[in-house]
Structure 1
Amino acid sequence: MRYIDAKDLNLIGKITPTPQLYHRVDTARYRDFTPNQNILVTEAAGLALCFKTNSSRISVHTYFHSMGNGANMTGINQYGYDLYIKKNKEWLYAASKAKLEKDNLLPLISNMDTSQKECLLYLPAFSVIDSIKIGIDEQADIESLPNPFRHRIIIFGSSFTHGTSANRSGMSYPLMVERDTGLYIMNLGVSGNSKLQQSFARVLADADADVFIFDAFSNPSAKEIEERFDSFVKTIRASHPTTPLIFMQTIYREERNFDKRADRYEQDKMDMAEKIVKKAMQYDKNIYFINPKNYTGDDHVTSTDGIHPSALGYYRWAKTIEPLLLTILKKYHIE
């Protein structure tokens, strides 16, 4: 096989340019993050390589700076790759593998035919990457593909948006919506740290977006929501005065079923979120609130750990919000 540096291929999913190619935010420019947040924003969640090849095999050679090790996640999600190949105009699952080595040579798929194939390769969601090379047959061709998705939609959120407990890196709910709709969704999920902070509002204000979607109420307390929401919106509005801001209600966490303290805490958050967004909607016609009865179903079978959905839960989440988002986006001719 021969190996091509992935820097020569099209990398999608980043909201702003960064000196380190596989980081999502430039931490040298934005210095207000905590040490943990610096790691989270340099993890590769939501990033993908777009390329075309006639190779019968694809391998990935990665140098990891750090690798995820969460107990409630698969290795494939944290430090593995998730490959989709276009077939009959749809992105079809092709392969997903992982290996727990920092200098990581990973055979991803083999025994394919030698026709030209359009590939979408999602990077590991919970690892920081120094370099990637793509391996193909010695005589095969490979070339960069243009971004296959349209418009520019940024989603900022919690571990749910980051993809915690999804089985693969391409199975977070934003990326399922992306493949289903063809809309370009850039993921700034920051596990446990989406709390309406000014540090993140400034990053979002500097980004180019047609729409912002927020999973903004999963991490902060009711008090933090009340105190921070208006200033968070104000900072973004200074750069994006009329851009649609779509806020999602947080999900029902299954830990609430018997834990009375968790139930009260979560309900207070949900009540405050609804109150404060509906108030904002009275003076800003481009703010929206998505509040389905239940994102993940009412059969109580979709939780991994009492907090995070399983792959089934994220699939239901994506399918629940898709029509709601499309209805809003249609008003802005974003289709």
Structure 2
Amino acid sequence: MRTIRRLLAVGAFLWLAPLAGQTAAEDTIRYVDAADFPRLGQVTAEGLESPYDRLPAYLKDSIRKELWDLGKNSAGIAVRFRTDSKKITARWEVLNNTWMNHMTPTGIKGLDLYAWDEGRWIFVGSGRPGYSKGTFTSTFISNMDGQMREYMLYLPLYDCATKVEIGVLGRARIERPELLSPVEEKPVVVYGTSITQGGCANRPGMAYTSILSRRMNREFINLGFSGNGRLDPEIARLMAQVDASCYVLDNMANCTTQMLDRLEEFVGILRQAHPDTPIVLLGNAHYTYVRFNTVSAGEVAEKDARLRELFRQMSREDKNLYYVPGEELIGLDDEATVDGTHFTDLGFVRMSDNLYPVLERILRRHAR
């Protein structure tokens, strides 16, 4: 009897041991390089210093240092893939470990995961960074049903992603996407300021360019440069390389009245390459502090007047130029900013709500 029990025990061990090994393999996270998958939100994926840069390397010595440094921030860039993993994690590194007192770490240097479900992109979870510089690791989601799904992973808005890895369970498949969404053909290119770049969204997917991209099912290229949307002609020439459906200039907040005199040259560079592509000029949003700061109120009013004047002059010959007043883009209740200037998620949603029908009408009018 003892012999039989001993044999049964040994048999049970031999039967359970492979199962334990199989379970361990299935539960192990396997990381793959996100750079091996398609990316959205870049003028080009070639000739970059780092795979998640927004500016090509050839511009490094010909543009202002501030522009080059900000161009390394991965704002608006998203990685597309599909997987049947029941758990998805990420491991990533950033260059600067940036910290700001008016923006969340997740928005600055975190990640954002969306899944395609029921015909739209739905938020899954955020990759939240740690406090010390190094490699961050975060889990987006666990305990899923294991069906193959399409995903979109947004990269940091205000730091430079130097390495990004997607983690899936050991036996799960992870592949290039099959779904063509957002559509990459003829993207919308948006040029502008810190707000364009995404300041101060709580998480990367809430920058208004990314919200609009999901709603309109169209790639948006984010060329927002915090404090530096000053109509540099080098950026106009870069934008002109893109066969865009529309160009949006959201740079008013960074321009003095005198800087606005560069607008005609900037638009002219775009027009030389794309004579019929719509160009949209955005006016200043309603900044809370302007209600009380009389000096700022005068400056904003002067810039708005100058932009309207320039639009009237240029639109006499350019019928594909559009002007969108900014006063009501984020509402007039003074509740949509974190500091009187930079938008909260509420501000970005309101801006997207107001720009969406305008851009849709313009794109339909120019569809061909």
TM range, smaller chain: over 0.9
| Residue 215 (structure 1) aligns with | 250
Q: 1:68 aligns with which of 93, 98, 101?
A: 98
| Residue 108 (structure 1) aligns with | 140
The superposition leaves residues 90-128 of structure 1 with CA deviations (integer Å, 9 ceiling, x where unpaired) of 111110132233222222222222111111110111111
Runs of 4+ in 1 over 4 A off after TM superposition: none
| Residue 301 (structure 1) aligns with | 335
Q: 1:78 aligns with which of 99, 108, 114?
A: 108
Q: 2:228 aligns with which of 184, 187, 193?
A: 193
Q: If you compute each CA radius of gyration, which structure gives the higher value, 1 or 2?
A: 2
Q: 2:51 aligns with which of 21, 36, 42?
A: 21
Cα distance in 2, alignment partners of residues 208 and 131 from structure 1 = 29
Q: Confirm or deny: 8 A CA contact 2:285 2:326 kept in the other structure.
A: no
Unaligned runs of 5+ in 1: none
Cα distance in 2, alignment partners of residues 115 and 24 from structure 1 = 33
Q: Confirm or deny: 8 A CA contact 1:59 1:109 kept in the other structure.
A: yes
Q: 2:78 aligns with which of 31, 40, 48?
A: 48
Cα distance in 1, alignment partners of residues 250 and 353 from structure 2 = 16
Q: Confirm or deny: 8 A CA contact 2:60 2:68 kept in the other structure.
A: no
| Residue 21 (structure 2) aligns with | none
Q: 1:270 aligns with which of 270, 286, 304?
A: 304
Q: Confirm or deny: 8 A CA contact 1:85 1:91 kept in the other structure.
A: yes
Q: Confirm or deny: 8 A CA contact 1:152 1:211 kept in the other structure.
A: yes
TM-score by length of 2: 0.87
Q: Confirm or deny: 8 A CA contact 1:66 1:129 kept in the other structure.
A: no
The superposition leaves residues 265-298 of structure 1 with CA deviations (integer Å, 9 ceiling, x where unpaired) of 1111111111111211111111111125411112
Q: Is 1:184 aligned with 2:212?
A: no
Cα distance in 2, alignment partners of residues 331 and 49 from structure 1 = 30
| Residue 58 (structure 1) aligns with | 88
Moved more, 243-252 or 162-171: 243-252
Matched residues, percent identical? Answer: 27
TM-score by length of 1: 0.95
Secondary structure at the aligned position of 1:208 is classed as coil
Which amino acid in the other structure matches residue 280 of structure 2?
Answer: I
Cα distance in 2, alignment partners of residues 292 and 11 from structure 1 = 31
Q: RMSD of aligned C-alpha atoms?
A: 1.5
**Number of matched pairs:** 333
Pick the structure with more helix per residue: 2
Secondary structure at the aligned position of 2:150 is classed as strand
Alpha-carbon distance, 1:224 to partner: 1.1
Secondary structure at the aligned position of 1:222 is classed as coil
Q: Is 1:145 aligned with 2:177?
A: yes
Secondary structure at the aligned position of 2:58 is classed as coil
> How do residues 178-327 of structure 1 correspond to structure 2 at under 5 angstroms?
178-225=213-260, 227-291=261-325, 293-327=327-361
